[in-house]
Protein backbone atom coordinates (compact mmCIF):
# COMPACT_ATOMS: atom_id res chain seq x y z
CA UNK A 1 0.00 0.00 0.00
CA UNK A 2 1.27 3.46 -0.89
CA UNK A 3 2.07 5.79 2.00
CA UNK A 4 3.32 9.35 1.66
CA UNK A 5 5.25 11.06 4.48
CA UNK A 6 6.62 14.59 5.03
CA UNK A 7 9.27 15.55 7.59
CA UNK A 8 9.59 19.23 8.57
CA UNK A 9 10.77 21.29 11.55
CA UNK A 10 7.95 22.74 13.62
CA UNK A 11 7.00 26.37 12.99
CA UNK A 12 5.10 28.86 15.12
CA UNK A 13 1.56 29.53 13.77
CA UNK A 14 2.74 28.54 10.26
CA UNK A 15 1.49 29.87 6.93
CA UNK A 16 -1.22 28.04 4.97
CA UNK A 17 1.30 26.17 2.77
CA UNK A 18 2.60 24.32 5.83
CA UNK A 19 -0.89 22.97 6.49
CA UNK A 20 -1.40 22.14 2.83
CA UNK A 21 1.75 20.01 3.08
CA UNK A 22 0.37 18.26 6.16
CA UNK A 23 -2.92 17.44 4.50
CA UNK A 24 -1.11 16.19 1.37
CA UNK A 25 0.51 13.26 3.20
CA UNK A 26 -0.53 10.19 5.17
CA UNK A 27 1.79 10.98 8.10
CA UNK A 28 3.66 14.13 9.11
CA UNK A 29 6.81 14.22 11.25
CA UNK A 30 7.82 17.24 13.34
CA UNK A 31 11.59 17.14 12.86
CA UNK A 32 12.61 18.87 16.09
CA UNK A 33 15.62 16.86 17.28
CA UNK A 34 17.82 18.91 14.93
CA UNK A 35 19.66 22.18 15.50
CA UNK A 36 17.63 25.27 16.33
CA UNK A 37 18.17 28.17 13.96
CA UNK A 38 17.74 31.74 15.14
CA UNK A 39 15.67 34.38 13.33
CA UNK A 40 13.76 31.62 11.59
CA UNK A 41 10.20 30.32 11.44
CA UNK A 42 10.68 28.10 14.50
CA UNK A 43 9.69 30.84 16.96
CA UNK A 44 8.09 33.56 14.85
CA UNK A 45 5.63 34.33 12.08
CA UNK A 46 3.86 37.29 10.50
CA UNK A 47 0.35 38.71 10.68
CA UNK A 48 -1.18 41.60 8.75
CA UNK A 49 -1.91 44.92 10.43
CA UNK A 50 -3.04 48.37 9.30
CA UNK A 51 0.64 49.41 9.51
CA UNK A 52 1.88 46.51 7.41
CA UNK A 53 3.14 43.02 8.22
CA UNK A 54 4.12 42.43 11.84
CA UNK A 55 6.36 39.72 13.28
CA UNK A 56 5.10 37.85 16.34
CA UNK A 57 8.13 36.24 18.01
CA UNK A 58 8.18 33.88 20.97
CA UNK A 59 11.06 35.00 23.23
CA UNK A 60 13.42 32.11 23.93
CA UNK A 61 16.38 31.55 26.23
CA UNK A 62 19.77 32.22 24.67
CA UNK A 63 22.36 29.55 25.39
CA UNK A 64 25.18 31.56 23.84
CA UNK A 65 27.32 29.40 21.57
CA UNK A 66 25.72 26.18 22.75
CA UNK A 67 24.01 24.47 19.84
CA UNK A 68 20.52 23.64 21.06
CA UNK A 69 18.15 21.24 19.39
CA UNK A 70 14.75 22.69 18.58
CA UNK A 71 13.12 20.46 21.20
CA UNK A 72 15.50 21.78 23.88
CA UNK A 73 14.68 25.47 23.41
CA UNK A 74 12.77 27.06 26.30
CA UNK A 75 10.62 30.18 26.46
CA UNK A 76 12.18 33.11 28.31
CA UNK A 77 9.12 35.27 29.15
CA UNK A 78 6.01 33.93 30.87
CA UNK A 79 3.58 36.49 29.44
CA UNK A 80 4.44 36.13 25.73
CA UNK A 81 1.18 34.32 24.88
CA UNK A 82 -1.04 36.98 26.44
CA UNK A 83 0.85 39.68 24.54
CA UNK A 84 0.56 37.84 21.24
CA UNK A 85 -3.15 37.22 21.70
CA UNK A 86 -3.76 40.88 22.55
CA UNK A 87 -1.98 41.92 19.33
CA UNK A 88 -3.91 39.38 17.27
CA UNK A 89 -7.24 40.42 18.76
CA UNK A 90 -6.54 44.11 18.18
CA UNK A 91 -5.70 43.56 14.50
CA UNK A 92 -8.27 40.91 13.54
CA UNK A 93 -11.34 41.79 15.60
CA UNK A 94 -12.92 43.38 12.50
CA UNK A 95 -12.21 40.35 10.30
CA UNK A 96 -15.31 38.68 8.88
CA UNK A 97 -14.95 35.45 10.89
CA UNK A 98 -13.20 36.68 14.04
CA UNK A 99 -16.21 35.88 16.23
CA UNK A 100 -16.28 32.33 14.86
CA UNK A 101 -12.58 31.68 15.46
CA UNK A 102 -11.92 33.78 18.57
CA UNK A 103 -12.64 31.12 21.21
CA UNK A 104 -10.67 28.20 19.70
CA UNK A 105 -7.62 30.35 18.87
CA UNK A 106 -7.67 32.21 22.21
CA UNK A 107 -7.89 28.83 23.97
CA UNK A 108 -4.73 27.69 22.17
CA UNK A 109 -2.91 30.77 23.48
CA UNK A 110 -4.15 30.13 27.00
CA UNK A 111 -2.90 26.55 26.80
CA UNK A 112 0.42 27.62 25.28
CA UNK A 113 1.07 30.02 28.16
CA UNK A 114 1.51 26.97 30.42
CA UNK A 115 4.09 25.26 28.17
CA UNK A 116 7.82 25.80 28.67
CA UNK A 117 9.39 24.40 25.50
CA UNK A 118 9.11 25.92 22.04
CA UNK A 119 8.70 22.60 20.23
CA UNK A 120 5.73 21.62 22.40
CA UNK A 121 4.16 25.04 21.90
CA UNK A 122 4.48 24.69 18.14
CA UNK A 123 3.01 21.20 18.24
CA UNK A 124 0.07 22.45 20.31
CA UNK A 125 -0.71 25.17 17.76
CA UNK A 126 -0.17 22.94 14.72
CA UNK A 127 -2.46 20.25 16.14
CA UNK A 128 -5.15 22.75 17.10
CA UNK A 129 -5.01 24.62 13.81
CA UNK A 130 -5.17 21.37 11.85
CA UNK A 131 -8.43 20.62 13.65
CA UNK A 132 -9.84 24.01 12.67
CA UNK A 133 -8.86 23.33 9.05
CA UNK A 134 -10.39 19.85 9.04
CA UNK A 135 -6.99 18.13 8.66
CA UNK A 136 -6.69 14.75 10.38
CA UNK A 137 -3.22 13.64 9.23
CA UNK A 138 -1.40 11.86 12.11
CA UNK A 139 1.47 13.93 13.56
CA UNK A 140 4.63 12.35 14.97
CA UNK A 141 7.71 13.73 16.69
CA UNK A 142 11.00 12.63 15.16
CA UNK A 143 12.48 11.70 18.55
CA UNK A 144 9.70 9.13 18.97
CA UNK A 145 10.85 7.25 15.88
CA UNK A 146 14.45 6.55 16.88
CA UNK A 147 17.72 7.68 15.32
CA UNK A 148 19.70 6.25 12.46
CA UNK A 149 23.23 6.89 11.31
CA UNK A 150 23.94 10.61 11.02
CA UNK A 151 23.63 12.43 7.74
CA UNK A 152 20.75 14.57 6.51
CA UNK A 153 19.54 12.14 3.88
CA UNK A 154 19.93 9.01 5.98
CA UNK A 155 18.00 10.49 8.90
CA UNK A 156 15.10 11.43 6.65
CA UNK A 157 15.14 7.99 5.04
CA UNK A 158 15.08 6.35 8.48
CA UNK A 159 12.09 8.43 9.62
CA UNK A 160 10.16 7.56 6.49
CA UNK A 161 10.98 3.87 6.83
CA UNK A 162 9.97 3.89 10.50
CA UNK A 163 6.47 4.89 9.38
CA UNK A 164 6.33 2.40 6.50
CA UNK A 165 6.45 5.11 3.84
CA UNK A 166 6.76 4.47 0.13
CA UNK A 167 7.07 8.16 -0.83
CA UNK A 168 8.76 11.19 0.73
CA UNK A 169 7.11 14.55 -0.02
CA UNK A 170 9.62 17.35 0.39
CA UNK A 171 9.46 21.11 0.30
CA UNK A 172 10.73 22.55 -2.99
CA UNK A 173 13.92 24.07 -1.51
CA UNK A 174 15.31 20.63 -0.60
CA UNK A 175 15.78 19.65 -4.23
CA UNK A 176 19.27 21.17 -4.03
CA UNK A 177 20.55 18.68 -1.44
CA UNK A 178 18.38 15.56 -1.40
CA UNK A 179 20.11 12.43 -2.64
CA UNK A 180 17.26 10.86 -4.57
CA UNK A 181 19.35 7.79 -5.35
CA UNK A 182 19.77 7.12 -1.61
CA UNK A 183 16.02 7.40 -1.11
CA UNK A 184 15.41 5.04 -4.03
CA UNK A 185 17.84 2.55 -2.47
CA UNK A 186 15.76 2.78 0.69
CA UNK A 187 12.59 1.98 -1.21
CA UNK A 188 11.33 5.56 -1.29
CA UNK A 189 10.13 7.72 -4.15
CA UNK A 190 10.83 11.46 -3.75
CA UNK A 191 8.36 14.14 -4.81
CA UNK A 192 8.33 17.90 -4.24
CA UNK A 193 5.56 20.12 -2.94
CA UNK A 194 4.45 23.10 -5.01
CA UNK A 195 3.13 26.20 -3.28
CA UNK A 196 1.95 27.88 -6.48
CA UNK A 197 -1.68 28.52 -7.35
CA UNK A 198 -3.33 29.34 -4.02
CA UNK A 199 -6.42 31.49 -4.54
CA UNK A 200 -6.71 34.86 -2.83
CA UNK A 201 -9.37 35.42 -0.18
CA UNK A 202 -10.92 38.55 1.36
CA UNK A 203 -8.07 39.95 3.46
CA UNK A 204 -7.81 43.03 5.66
CA UNK A 205 -5.29 45.84 5.30
CA UNK A 206 -4.45 46.55 1.68
CA UNK A 207 -2.83 44.39 -0.99
CA UNK A 208 -3.06 40.61 -0.73
CA UNK A 209 -0.22 38.71 0.95
CA UNK A 210 0.03 34.90 0.89
CA UNK A 211 3.04 34.51 3.20
CA UNK A 212 1.45 35.28 6.57
CA UNK A 213 0.30 33.03 9.39
CA UNK A 214 -2.66 30.76 8.70
CA UNK A 215 -4.44 32.71 11.45
CA UNK A 216 -5.05 35.37 8.82
CA UNK A 217 -6.89 32.85 6.65
CA UNK A 218 -8.94 31.53 9.57
CA UNK A 219 -10.05 34.91 10.86
CA UNK A 220 -10.99 36.09 7.38
CA UNK A 221 -12.70 32.96 6.04
CA UNK A 222 -13.63 30.83 9.08
CA UNK A 223 -15.11 27.44 8.27
CA UNK A 224 -14.39 28.03 4.57
CA UNK A 225 -10.62 28.23 5.18
CA UNK A 226 -9.82 24.76 3.84
CA UNK A 227 -11.22 25.77 0.42
CA UNK A 228 -8.34 28.24 0.09
CA UNK A 229 -5.78 25.45 0.48
CA UNK A 230 -6.89 24.11 -2.90
CA UNK A 231 -4.25 25.11 -5.42
CA UNK A 232 -5.17 25.97 -9.00
CA UNK A 233 -2.84 25.75 -12.04
* 65, pLDDT greater than 70: no
Every domain of the chain and the residues it spans: 4-229
Instruction: Please report, for residues 5, 207, 210, 217, 220, the alpha-carbon distance to residue 201 in angstroms, rounded to integers and kept in the order given.
Output: 29, 11, 9, 8, 8
Indicate whether 217 pLDDT > 80.
yes
3-state per-residue secondary structure call for 167-199: EEEECHHHHHCCCHHHHHHCCCEEEECCCCCCC
pLDDT at 45 over 80: yes
**pTM surpassing 0.85?**
yes
Supply φ then ψ for residue 67, to 5 degrees: -85, 100
* pLDDT tens-place string over residues 145-178: 987 767 889 999 999 999 999 999 999 988 888 9
Cα separation of 140 and 118, whole Å? 16
How many other CB atoms are found less than 10 A from the CB of residue 178? 16
Pairing of strands 27-30, 44-49: unpaired
Model pLDDT for residues 98-152, shown as the tens digit of each residue: 999 999 999 999 999 999 999 999 999 999 999 999 999 999 999 999 877 678 8
Mean pLDDT of 214-221: 98
Report the alpha-carbon distance of residue 51 to residue 190 in Å, rounded.
41
pLDDT band at 61 (very low <50, low <70, confident <90, very high): very high
Largest CA distance in the chain: 53
User: For residue 52, is it left (φ>0), alpha (ψ between -120 and 50) or beta?
Assistant: left
Mean pLDDT in the chain?
95
Which residues, listed in sequence order, are joined to residue 140 by a DSSP beta bridge? 29
Amino acid sequence: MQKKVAVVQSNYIPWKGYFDLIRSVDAFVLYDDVQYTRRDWRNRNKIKTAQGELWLSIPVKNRGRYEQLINEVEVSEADWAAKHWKTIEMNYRRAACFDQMELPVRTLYEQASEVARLSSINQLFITGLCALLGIDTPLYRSEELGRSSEGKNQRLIHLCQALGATEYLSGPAASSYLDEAAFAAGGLEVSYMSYAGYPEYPQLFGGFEHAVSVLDLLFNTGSEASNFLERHP
